[in-house]
Amino acid sequence: MSSETYDVIIIGGGTSGLVLANRLSEDPNLQVIVLESGQDRSADPNTLTPGAWPLLSNSPADWTFQTVPEKDLKRQITIPQGKALGGSSAINSFLFTSTSKANVEGWRNLGNEGWDYATYEEALEKSFTLHKSQGVAEGQGPLQLTLATGETLWEKAWISGLESVGFPRTDPLSGRLGGAIIAPESINPSTKQRSYAANAYLDPVRSRPNLAVRTETTVTKVLLERPSTDADAVAKGVQFISKDGSPQTIGVRKEVIISAGAINSPRLLELSGVGDGSLLQRLGINVVVDNSHVGENLQNHLFTGLTFEARDDVDTIDAFFRQEADAVGAAMQDYATKGTGPMATSNMVTMAQLPLPEFHSEEGRKELDGLFSALGAGSGSPATTPAFAAAHERFVRSVLTSPSEAVGNYVFGSAYAPFDAPSPTYRAPGKHVSVAIELSHPLSRGSVHITSADRERTGTSEGLTVDCRYLSHPLDLEVLARQVRFTEDMISRAEPLTRYLKPYSKRFTDLEAAKDYVRRTADGAYHYTGTCSMMPRAMGGVVDNRLRVYGCSNLRVCDASVVPLEPTANPQAVVYAVAEMGAKFIKEDLR
């Protein structure tokens, strides 16, 4: 073991890891170190410029994982995960939408004491400052959020259109969803640049003498020792490959915290001997804690979408999306001189989180009962315990039958999106609007597992298998196809929006046609959770309600991987809240 020793080692300088670094180093008596595999890209213009975020996929700041071929979809799916200080908060879009109260209470109902919504909301509010119009700011958290006024033509048309068909505007940070949303973005209104974990949480505290941060440093193993056969394993330190390529170790006095994300956190546990014993033995890894749930319960939002032609006399940002020289030049000029235009935003703030009305009537509930009965219980993953499969289905059923809970997340944009296009890069001529349609609460569950114990692969996208198993639970196809049909019907009746569209004919009155469309066009969002789930071990858990790894006395996981039930929409806000809660638990336990 190296003579270099810290009180707390944080593996991963992403969204969660930098929240922990800030909060734990508030105690001057704790020596904290963060080890991040990626670079510090806080000076990169593409990182900081909001409208440039699509350029960050498949860049050096992205792990760029690939799923195995999907049995029930027509495509293999790329998984962007941030490989830089700030993690995915440095490369993904900016939408800051919390989840519903029912979702958080669903986590608690799995057996996670302390995860009530009031506690979660307190942690969430600690993370941000929300800037509204006329200079009004709420909160004192490090992350800076900008809320658009909602006064553009398309924003007003979307809000008014949904109100006209019975869905009022809602507050995306309230925990009470079910209507149209103007989403806050993690953009600093003073600088017009991305606000993310690196410049919000880390930069203000980089000079603390008790905090060290090392980039381009890939941890390959947590060093675990078991004092006796019936005792919990103890983390003594970590092995890593340093920036110069040499293998090194660091010792730990108190805690090791893995915050490497939904793909890399289970990978690191397995490389360290925590996982399915049979898998680890096949790869020549010493089994420290035999827990077959590690890497299971991978969840993500599946989405498709619809496009509609806009009238010729209204403005859209299609020309910018087609990268036409004049439109790009004007956008760059607007951003450089005024901090406005399509380069100043994700261009996706107009949203809705909506119920699915067809399951709210007595007849609809009977149909849903029939679907659950016909489709079979627990079909989302063969590795899921019966107890969790039943709990997951109870939760999803409760959402589907509630008039006030969001079944789907809908993202509206004033440009063509290639849902049903010849290629992902295709951009149609003319003017369009698009609606992305996400399945908020999938029952399909996948997995992440290592395929090699070779430490040289740990800093790459190789040496592991990601199997999302999209649509493996048949109810997901049923619900998402009905969302497609519902979206088309809803927009056809939303006159304040439809008045700006060209006439069109409905394509999906037939449910089977909608199902075929979903199979052909669906893709995965960047919202991966669940692979180190927080719940009782017997139910399928990897960590307990204070994020401690089962079978280990001083090892925790704190990131999106611990979330056991997928949030309703973009998980950025959820991850910040989880990290704030984790920091509170750790500080309490280290006293």
Residues within the annotated binding site?
15-16, 219, 571-572
Q: What burial letters (b/e) apply to 165-201, b meaning 16+ CB within 10 Å?
A: bebebbebbebebbbbbbbbbbbbbeebbbbbbbbbb
Distance from C-alpha of 82 to C-alpha of 440, rounded to nearest angstrom: 22
The total of other beta-carbon atoms located within 10 Å of residue 377's CB is 14
Q: Where are the alpha helices (DSSP H) in 78-205?
A: 101-109, 117-125, 153-164
Coil, helix or strand for 124? Answer: helix
Q: How far is CA 102 from CA 28, 125, 251, 293, 525, in A?
A: 38, 18, 41, 25, 22
Q: Residues 6 or more apart from 470 whose CB is under 8 A from it?
A: 70, 72, 73, 77, 300, 302, 442, 444, 446, 476, 522, 524
| Direct distance between the N- and C-terminal alpha carbons of the chain, in angstroms, rounded to an integer | 26
Q: Residues 6 or more apart from 386 whose CB is under 8 A from it?
A: 378
Report residue 322: phi and psi, to 5°.
-80, 0
Q: Are 223 and 249 in contact (CB under 8 A)?
A: yes
Identify the CA nearest to 558 among candidates 573, 548, 567.
548
Identify the CA nearest to 259 among candidates 590, 578, 43, 41.
578
Distance from C-alpha of 48 to C-alpha of 208, rounded to nearest angstrom: 24
Coil, helix or strand for 454? Answer: coil
HEC profile of 23-90:
HHCCCCCCCEEEECCCECCCCCHHHHCHHHHHHHCCCCCECCEEECCCCCCCCCCEECCECECCHHHH
Residues annotated within the binding site for FAD are 15-16, 219, 571-572
**Backbone CA torsion sign across 150, 155, 156, 159:** negative
Q: Strand ranges (DSSP E) for 142-270?
A: 143-146, 180-182, 187-188, 193-194, 211-214, 218-225, 234-241, 247-258
Q: Residues 6 or more apart from 122 whose CB is under 8 A from it?
A: none
